[in-house]
């Protein structure tokens, strides 16, 4: 196997980046996808990047919605993005409370490290995209990779 078989990834935030943010979004009826996010996803997919969503979902830990609600919302988002000509390869979420001290809640790097292992990703050629410099941008800085600040 070639050393170059590893693929880079676009690690992309969900709420406020792909879909319009509503506090603790989980109802499929509230799903609104930004078309410029789909354009970004499509551009990277066409260049051979895996498209990996990484999202903090403390609403689970707070008891505001269930993992089933979250997965239903994620499935609807994936289907809608596909309809719009994009693609999502995988979704990672942190369900924990901010004060839990877990290793997955962004800007901690746990979800990225799990994805790198699961998908044999070339981290050095990967990028992070998101709407929050203090969360997604900080994640990128901790990883030493570029950050794309998404503004709608
Ligand atoms: Mg966000
Ligand atoms: Zn976590």
Where do the structural domains in the chain lie, given as residue ranges?
A: 3-149
Helix (H) or strand (E) holding 91: strand 90-94
**CB within 5 A of ion ligand 2: which residues?**
94, 96, 102, 104-105
* Closest ligand to Cα 23: 1
- Residue among 39, 45, 43, 37 at smallest CA distance from 13: 37
For the record, the structure tokens of 80 come out as 């809608």
Chain segment 55-99, per-residue pLDDT in tens: 999 999 999 999 999 999 999 999 999 999 999 999 999 999 999
CA of 4 to the centre of ligand 1 (A): 32
Q: Residue 73 and residue 29: Cα distance in Å, rounded?
A: 9
CA of 99 to the centre of ligand 2 (A): 10
pTM (predicted TM-score): 0.96
Q: Residue 137 and residue 142: Cα distance in Å, rounded?
A: 9
Residue 103 has phi, psi (to 5 degrees) of: -95, 0
**CB within 5 A of ion ligand 1: which residues?**
13, 15-16, 131
* Closest ligand to Cα 96: 2
| Mean predicted confidence (pLDDT) in 16-23 | 95
For the record, the structure tokens of 37 come out as 């996010």
Give the residue numbers annotated as catalytic, written as ranges: 13, 15
Q: Residue 1 and residue 150: Cα distance in Å, rounded?
A: 36
Q: Which CATH architecture has domain 3-149?
A: 3-Layer(aba) Sandwich (3.40)
Other residues' Cβ atoms within 10 Å of the Cβ of residue 44: 22
Q: Residue 110 and residue 91: Cα distance in Å, rounded?
A: 13
63-83 residues labelled b (16+ CB within 10 A) or e (exposed): eebeeebbeebbebbbebbee
pLDDT confidence of 46, banded at 50, 70, 90?
A: very high
CA of 135 to the centre of ligand 2 (A): 14
**Is pLDDT at 1 greater than 60 in this prediction?**
no
């Amino acid at each position: 196997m070639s050393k170059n078989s590893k693929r880079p990834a676009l690690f992309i935030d969900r709420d406020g980046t792909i879909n319009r943010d509503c506090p603790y979004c989980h109802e499929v009826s509230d799903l609104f996808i930004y078309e410029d996010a789909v354009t970004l996803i499509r551009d990277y997919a066409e260049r051979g990047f895996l498209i990996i969503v990484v999202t903090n979902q403390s609403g689970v830990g707070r008891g505001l919605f269930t993992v089933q609600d979250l997965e239903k919302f994620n499935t609807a988002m994936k289907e809608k993005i596909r309809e719009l000509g994009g693609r999502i390869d995988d979704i990672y979420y942190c369900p924990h409370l901010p004060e839990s001290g877990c290793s997955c809640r962004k800007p901690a790097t746990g979800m990225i490290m799990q994805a790198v292992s699961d998908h044999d990703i070339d981290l050095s050629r990967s990028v992070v995209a998101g709407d929050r410099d203090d969360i997604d941008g900080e994640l990128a800085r901790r990883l030493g990779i570029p950050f794309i600040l998404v503004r709608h």
